[in-house]
């Protein structure tokens, strides 16, 4: 782990701080580009991004202070984040969502349309944020003997890189939802899918977290699991409200799926086609990326007007 990347005199550049900055900038850039694609005023999107960031930061800090009061206990420790760190993911999500909702209403923007842009940007931000968390040594996993387990500064034994695993999953989700958001969809669909997947991922990784988990007595359920279930439930509710689908009809079709072999065959066939399309798209994407990387030196030399030295001079 590399908690501190660079020290210049009194200035200390931490890996977590750097990657959180990258997370914010990347999230704003994606939301801005998507807003531009749909002819939404870019200035308003940037204003919403700044207010959402402020609300998210405030919510993340308040959550950390309230649920870890014994670690703070004074106004100085609460105020100086750099000296006394402590932020919460769920607090940031709730605070940011509340600020986002209030400010989009104030600017008279279409809430669900802008929310669909925002969550795609948030996914890319989560990729960078989790990398920074991994390098900073926060959000580590349980002790493990698996080959992917890595040492963490100040802890005994190798730990599962939960933050890196989440980062990879969120990267896949980012590419998947980015493809969907630029196509026709009902407003709110991308937000609903984001919340459903966020709840699933966070619920699963919560079992493998090695840091102290706060448990709700007497149910012995962690706050992380509780918020994950709430996020998943909110995503399902938003999906059915915005799509105007009938829950009972879907449950009826699900029961028929288990009782009918033909329906299962059709579903498996559609899954195979979908998996093949995804695999082909990833291969093409990685192929284009590798070609672009290989051509970078030539493009760089061309811009500098530098010719390669011939190797077959006689």
SS3 for 129-160, per residue?
HHHHHHHHCCCCECECCCCCCEECCCCCCEEC
CB 184 within 8 A of CB 175: no
CA distance 195 to 26: 20
| Token pair recorded at residue 149 | 């387990």
pTM, two decimal places? 0.80
Quick one: pLDDT at residue 201? 94
Quick one: pLDDT at residue 234? 95
Quick one: pLDDT at residue 76? 67
| Token pair recorded at residue 86 | 């402590």
CB 272 within 8 A of CB 279: no
| Selection from 19, 28, 228 nearest residue 130 by Cα | 19
Instruction: Compute CA distances 185 → 197, 230, 236, 277, whole Å.
Output: 18, 24, 16, 19
Consecutive sets of 10 residues in the chain, 314 residues long: mean pLDDT of each? 72 79 91 86 87 90 79 68 73 93 91 92 92 81 83 79 91 91 88 95 88 61 87 94 84 76 78 79 78 76 61 57
Quick one: pLDDT at residue 173? 93
Instruction: Compute CA distances 35 → 45, 232, 234, 279, whole Å.
Output: 7, 26, 24, 29
Domain-by-domain residue ranges, the chain? 4-200, 254-303
CA distance 52 to 44: 12
| Token pair recorded at residue 266 | 């059709």
Quick one: pLDDT at residue 313? 54
Question: For the chain, what percentages of helix, strand and coil (3-state, to nearest 5) are there?
Answer: 70, 5, 25
Who contacts 95 (Cβ-Cβ below 8 Å, separation ≥6)?
55, 56, 57, 58, 59, 60, 62, 63
First and final CA of the chain: distance in angstroms? 52
CB 119 within 8 A of CB 169: no
Instruction: Compute CA distances 22 → 19, 27, 129, 223, whole Å.
Output: 5, 8, 8, 28
CA distance 304 to 292: 18
């Amino acid at each position: 782990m590399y908690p501190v990347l660079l020290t210049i005199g009194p200035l200390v550049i931490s890996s977590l701080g750097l990657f959180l900055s990258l997370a914010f900038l990347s999230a704003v850039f994606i939301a801005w580009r998507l807003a531009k694609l749909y002819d939404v005023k870019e200035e308003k999107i940037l204003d919403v991004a700044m207010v959402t960031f402020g609300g998210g930061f405030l919510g993340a800090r308040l959550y950390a202070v309230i649920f870890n009061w014994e670690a703070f206990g004074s106004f100085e420790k609460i105020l100086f984040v750099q000296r006394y760190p402590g932020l919460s993911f769920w607090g940031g999500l709730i605070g940011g969502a509340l600020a986002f909702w209030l400010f989009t209403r104030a600017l008279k923007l279409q809430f669900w349309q802008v929310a669909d842009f925002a969550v795609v940007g948030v996914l890319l931000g989560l990729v960078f944020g989790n990398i920074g968390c991994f390098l900073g040594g926060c959000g580590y996993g349980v002790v493990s003997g698996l080959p992917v387990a890595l040492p963490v500064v100040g802890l005994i034994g190798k730990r599962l890189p939960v933050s890196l695993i989440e980062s990879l999953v969120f990267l896949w989700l980012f590419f998947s939802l980015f493809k969907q958001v630029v196509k026709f969809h009902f407003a709110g669909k991308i937000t609903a899918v984001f919340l459903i997947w966020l709840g699933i991922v966070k619920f699963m990784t919560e079992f493998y977290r090695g840091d102290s988990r706060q448990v709700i007595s007497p149910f012995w359920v962690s706050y992380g699991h509780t918020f994950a279930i709430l996020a998943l439930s909110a995503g399902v509710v938003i999906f059915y409200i915005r799509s105007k689908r009938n829950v009972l009809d879907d449950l009826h079709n699900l029961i028929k799926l288990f009782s009918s072999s033909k329906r299962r065959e059709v579903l498996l066939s559609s899954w195979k086609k979908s998996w093949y399309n995804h695999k082909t798209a990833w291969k093409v994407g990685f192929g284009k990326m590798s070609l672009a990387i290989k051509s970078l030196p030539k493009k760089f030399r061309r811009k500098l007007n530098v010719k390669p030295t011939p190797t077959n001079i006689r």
